[in-house]
Amino acid sequence: MSKTVFITGSSRGIGAAIAKLFYRNGYNVAINYNRSEEEASALSKLLAGSLLLKGDVSKEDDVKEMIAKTVSHFGSIDVLVNNAGISVVNLLTDTTLEEWERLFSINVTGTFLASKYAAAQMIKNHSGRIINISSIWGISGASMESCYSASKGAVIAFTKALAKELGPSGITVNCVAPGFIDTDMNSDVTPEDKRAFCEETPLGRIGTPEEVAKMVLFLASDNADFVTGQIIGCDGGAII
Ligand code: NAP
């Protein structure tokens, strides 16, 4: 029987690449979007048989309903990927409380809510994989991204604690920390800043969403049966 993956924020970027790769590997795929209806509908048509779910990960009722629909449609959730995220690039002194709260409500509360409701049914099955998408900035911190870095650091601490709590229930919890990946999130980065980042990266380039997706698929696979609580960089060596 096919396994089921639920990927938050899979209308675009890294989440969409994860959806496509899991689909190609035989998974039932539940695609979540919030604002990008057109992109998400096109993706769900491409991945015939996938389940399309509109919902805001920062809202408890939305998350509860999306998890319940996925379980009732496919029978279970075997893999949860907490990918939905936003960034704020700004000096601390120019960052508003609203920006801070929005960052945390999506990047941290969203990860908490989806994990909470998916874990409840994974515990019943005594099996499951939770894979969180953090960032290298959650490890090392980035200037002008202090609030984003804090939210991604929270995801890392959550991963480690949850791995300890859910391990006895047969569930692994891991985290991928991507470096600079070519998506809409970085559309405002200037060519000069991109070049500078590449020069500081041992592999000398930025990454693709597909490369992050491959790491996520590995963590969901049998090859990672004995891996939990780990924060795995996918960054061309940017953080060593
Ligand atoms: P992206 O291209 O901007 O896509 C973000 C995705 O998150 C979209 O599918 C968006 O859906 C979804 N999303 C945002 N708010 C949401 C909400 N409230 N509820 C549900 N979905 C929501 O970004 P990306 O680069 O693919 O980033 C994906 C993840 O990787 C994020 O967690 C990001 O922090 C992390 N990351 C990215 C990079 C990078 O360089 N790109 C590096 C490190 C970590 P809608 O458009 O439908 O709202």
Of 23, 33, 117, 148, the active-site residue reads 148
Phi, psi (deg, nearest 5) at residue 177? -115, 90
Tell me which residue has its CA closest to atom 23 in ligand 1.
185
- pLDDT tens digits, one per residue of 22-46: 999 999 999 999 999 999 999 999 9
**pLDDT at site 156:** 99
Task: Give the atom of ligand 1 at the shortest distance from the alpha carbon of 136.
Answer: 43
Tell me which residue has its CA closest to atom 10 in ligand 1.
9
Tell me which residue has its CA closest to atom 34 in ligand 1.
85
CB atoms < 10 A from the CB of 46, how many? 12
Give the single-character DSSP code of 207.
B
What is the Å distance from ligand 1's center to 85 Cα?
A: 4
**pLDDT at site 92:** 98
Burial (CB count <10 Å: 0-12, 13-18, 19+), residue 19: buried
| CA gap 157, 27 in Å, rounded | 28
**pLDDT at site 1:** 85
Give ligand 1 pocket residues (Cβ under 6 A). Answer: 8-15, 32-36, 40, 56-58, 83-87, 106, 133, 135, 178, 180-181, 183-186
**pLDDT at site 18:** 99
| CA gap 32, 176 in Å, rounded | 19
Is residue 148 annotated as part of the catalytic site, yes or no?
A: yes
HSE-up of 238 (CA within 13 Å, CB side)? Answer: 25
Tell me which residue has its CA closest to atom 46 in ligand 1.
36
117 near 70, Cβ under 8 Å?
Answer: no
What is the Å distance from ligand 1's center to 54 Cα?
A: 15
What is the Å distance from ligand 1's center to 168 Cα?
A: 31
**pTM (two decimals):** 0.99
Phi, psi (deg, nearest 5) at residue 5? -120, 135
112 near 60, Cβ under 8 Å?
Answer: no
Tokens linked to 5: 């993956």
What is the Å distance from ligand 1's center to 66 Cα?
A: 18
Single out the residue of 196, 215, 13 nearest to residue 129, CA to CA: 215
**pLDDT at site 76:** 97
Task: Give the atom of ligand 1 at the shortest distance from the alpha carbon of 180.
Answer: 40
How does DSSP assign 154-184, residue by residue? HHHHHHHHHHHHHGGGTEEEEEEEE-SB-SG
Where the chain has pLDDT below 50, the residues are: none
